Amino acid sequence: MATKAVNPETQRAKLERKERAILEAARGVFVEHGFDGARMSEIARRASIGEGTIYSYYESKAELMLTVLQQFWDGLTLEAEAVMASSQVDGFFERLQALAQYHLSTVIENADFINLTFALRRNNSEVSVSRDHLRHYVAVFDQLFRRGQDRGEIRQDAVLWQARDVFYGTLEYSARSIEMTMDSNRTERQQGPVVDEMISLFRSHYAAAHDAVEADRATLDSLSSKLDQLSEQFDVLAKRLPQ
Amino acid sequence: MATKAVNPETQRAKLERKERAILEAARGVFVEHGFDGARMSEIARRASIGEGTIYSYYESKAELMLTVLQQFWDGLTLEAEAVMASSQVDGFFERLQALAQYHLSTVIENADFINLTFALRRNNSEVSVSRDHLRHYVAVFDQLFRRGQDRGEIRQDAVLWQARDVFYGTLEYSARSIEMTMDSNRTERQQGPVVDEMISLFRSHYAAAHDAVEADRATLDSLSSKLDQLSEQFDVLAKRLPQ
DNA sequence: GGCATTTTCGAGTCAAGCTCAATAAGGGAC
DNA sequence: GTCCCTTATTGAGCTTGACTCGAAAATGCC
C-alpha cells in the first residue's frame, strides 16, 4: 500500500528533481557562455544526464533558454516585491528609490539575460518570453505609482505608462552606459548618482508639490490685492491729514 | 600611359564595388532573418559571388555583421545631424522634439539592429560595435543640450549624462512597448503621445523656467517686506491723527 | 518473474560556418 | 602576344554542434 501511494510521488519528484537539475545547469552555462556559446553537451554533462535526455524535457535549445528566462523574470518579480514589502519607510519617493536601486543593480548584474529576452523575441517569433512575465514584473512599479496617486503624493494627471517608460528606460540605458565604461579603464560612472538624479526628476515632475507652486501663486495674488487695498486706505488717510 | 594610370583605379573601384555589394546583400539578409537566421550562402548568392569570397573580405560572419552595424550607426548619426540642420525652428525644445520623433521612429523601424548591437557586445567580446560609433551618435543630443544651456534655455545645473539617459532610455523603452503591443491586436500605443509627454517632462524639469519659480519666491519675499514697511508707515500716520 | 510502458541514452544525421588547394584573372616585362 | 608572378575567386570538403532515433535500461503492474 505504501509503495502504491508513495512511489508515484517519489517518481514524480524524481522527474522534477531532474528537470530542476537541467534548468540549473542550463542557467549556469547560458550565463557563462551566452546563448550561442552554450553547448547542449555541457549542459547535459553538468546535469549528469545524456544529451538526448534533455530533448525529452525541452523541444529545443531555444525552448530551454526560454524556460530559464521565464524563471529568471519570475525570480526578479518576487525579489522586487520583497524589496517593496521590506521597505522601512512608507513614502512614495523613498520606496521608488529602493525599487530603482534594486532594478539598476539587477540589470547591471544580469545584462545578458535581459538582452537575450528581447533578442530572442525577434529571432524566433514562436519562442519568446511571454508578455505576461514582463508585465508582471513592471506591475510592481505600476502598483506603487497608483498607490502614490491615491494617497495624493503624486499629481492626479500624471500618465502611468509615461512614468513607467521613464523609470525603467532610464535605468536600463544608464546600466548599459555604466557597463560600457566599466570594461574600459575610464572613470567609472557610479550607480548612486543615477538613482539620485532619477528620484529628483520624479520629485520635480510628478510630485503633487506642483500644487504647492500653484499655492504660491495664489498667495502672491492675494498679497498683491491686499497691497492695493492697503494703498487705497493709505490714500484715504493721507487726504484726511492736515496739510 | 592611360592604362597605367587608370587601371589601378578601376581595379580598386572594382574591389570596392564588390565589397559594397557584399555589405548590401548582408544587410538585407540580416534584416530579413536576424543574425542567427542569416545564411552566408544566401548573402553570397545575392552578392553574386562564391561563398568563400566573402571570407577574403571579412574574417567571419560576426565581423561582417559588425561592419554592417557600424555602417548602420554611421547612417543614423548622419540622418540625426540632418534632422537638426534642417530644423525650421531654433528653440531648444522644438529641436529636441524633432530629434525625439526621429529617434523613436528609427528605433522602432530598426529594432533588430539596435538589439544586435548590444547582444553582440556580450557574446563575442572581441567583436562589438565600438564605443565611438555609439558616442558619436549620442553626441547629437549632447551638442543640442549644451547649446541650450549656453543660450540660457536650460537650467545651468542640469546634468548632461542624466538628461541623455532619460532621453534615449525612455524612447527606447517606449519603442519596445509599442512594438510589443503592435504584434498583438490590442489598442496600439501611438508614437505621438510618447514624444509629447517626453518633451513636456523635459520642459518641466530642465527648462530655465525653474529659475522663474525662484524668481517668484524672491518676489514673494520682497512683497512681504514691503507690506511690513507699509504697515509701519500706517501706524506712524495713525498716531499722528487726531483722536 | 514476466510483460507493458516509460525513460534514457549516445551514435549517427544534417546543416551551416569556415578552410584550402586548385583555378582564374590581372598586370607588367620583353 | 606570351610568359610569369601575384592576387582574387571558387566550391568541394572539414568541423562543429543541434537534434533524431532505434535500442536498451528502468519502472510499473499483475
Looking at residue A73, its pLDDT comes to 96
So what's the pLDDT on residue B182? Answer: 76
For the segment B57-66, the average pLDDT, to the nearest whole number, is 95
Nearest to B180 among A131, A161, A197 (CB): A131
Among A116-120, B71-75, B197-201, name the one with the lowest average pLDDT: A116-120
What pLDDT was estimated at residue A17?
Answer: 83
For residue B34, give the nearest of A112, A123, A173 by CB distance. Answer: A123
- Report the distance separating Cα B34 and Cα A158, nearest Å: 38
Q: Chain B interface, mutation test: which of A107, A170, A184, A227, most B Cβ atoms within 10 Å?
A: A170
Q: How far apart are CA B79 and CA B72, in angstroms?
A: 11
Measure, in angstroms, how far nucleotide D11 C1' is from residue B52 CA: 8
Question: Quick check: A92 and A148 in contact, CB under 8 A?
Answer: yes
pTM for this entry = 0.82
Q: CB of A5 within 8 Å of any CB in chain B? A: no
Question: Which residue in B121, B165, B51 sits closest to A183, CA to CA?
Answer: B121
Of the candidates B112, B91, B99, B26, the one whose C-alpha atom is nearest the C-alpha of residue B63 is B26
Nearest to A123 among B36, B170, B205 (CB): B36
Q: Specify the DSSP element, H or E, that contains B193.
A: helix B191-206
DSSP H helical ranges for chain A = 2-37, 40-46, 51-57, 61-85, 92-109, 111-123, 131-150, 160-182, 191-206, 210-240
Cα(B141)–Cα(A32) distance, rounded to whole angstroms?
35
**pLDDT band, very low/low/confident/very high, at B5 (cuts 50, 70, 90):** very low
Whether B38 CB is under 7 Å from strand C: yes
- Identify the structural domains of chain A with CATH numbers, from first to last: 1-57 (1.10.10.60), 62-208 (1.10.357.10)
Total beta-carbon pairs less than 8 A apart between chain A and chain B = 133
Residue B211 in contact with partner chain A when CB distance is under 8 A: no
- Please spell the DSSP secondary structure of B50-62, one letter per residue: -HHHHHHH-SSHH
Give CA–CA dist B156/B193, Å, rounded.
28
Question: What is the rounded average pLDDT of the residues B112-126?
Answer: 76
- Least reliable range by pLDDT among A138-152, A203-217, B51-65, B192-206: A203-217
> Nearest nt to A3, CA vs C1'?
D28
Whether residue B162 contacts residue B141, with contact meaning beta carbons closer than 8 Å, is answered with no
Average pLDDT, integer, range B51-80: 96
Q: Which three cell numbers stand for residue B78?
A: 548622419
Residues 178-197 (B) with a CB less than 8 A from some CB of A: 180, 184, 189, 193-194, 197
B12 to chain A, minimum CA–CA distance in Å?
37
Half-sphere exposure of A204 (CA within 13 A, CB side): 17
- The three-class DSSP label of residue A89 is coil
Nucleotides of C under 7 A from a protein CB: 7-11, 16-21, 26-28
A132-141, B143-152, B166-175, B178-187: lowest mean pLDDT where? Answer: B178-187
Mean pLDDT of chain B: 85
Q: Do A237 and B241 touch (CB under 8 A)?
A: yes
Lowest mean pLDDT among A20-34, A58-72, B31-45, B121-135: B121-135
Mean pLDDT within B168-193? 86
Within 7 Å: CB of B22 and strand C?
no
Q: Which residue is nearest to nucleotide D27 (CA to C1')?
A: A11
pLDDT digits (tens, 9 = 90+) for B214-237: 555 555 656 666 666 667 776 776
DSSP B73-134: HHHHHHHHHHHHHT-S---HHHHHHHHHHHHHHHHHHTHHHHHHHHHHHHH-TTS---HHHH
Nearest Cα residue in chain B from A157? B197
Q: How far is CA A186 from CA A172, A181, B68, B127, B187, in A?
A: 20, 6, 28, 20, 45
Residues in chain B: 243
Across chain A, which has 243 residues, the per-10-residue mean pLDDT values are 42 78 96 92 97 96 95 96 90 95 95 85 68 94 96 94 98 94 73 94 85 56 65 70 64
Reported as a pLDDT band with limits 50, 70 and 90, residue B42 is: very high
- In this predicted structure, what is the pLDDT of residue B6? 41
Q: Is the CB of B224 under 7 A from strand C?
A: no
Q: For residue B118, name the pLDDT band (cuts at 50, 70, 90).
A: confident
Residue A55 pLDDT: 97
Q: What is the pLDDT of residue A82?
A: 96
CA of B39 to C1' of D14 (A): 18
Q: Give chain A positions within 8 Å (CB) of B226.
A: 227
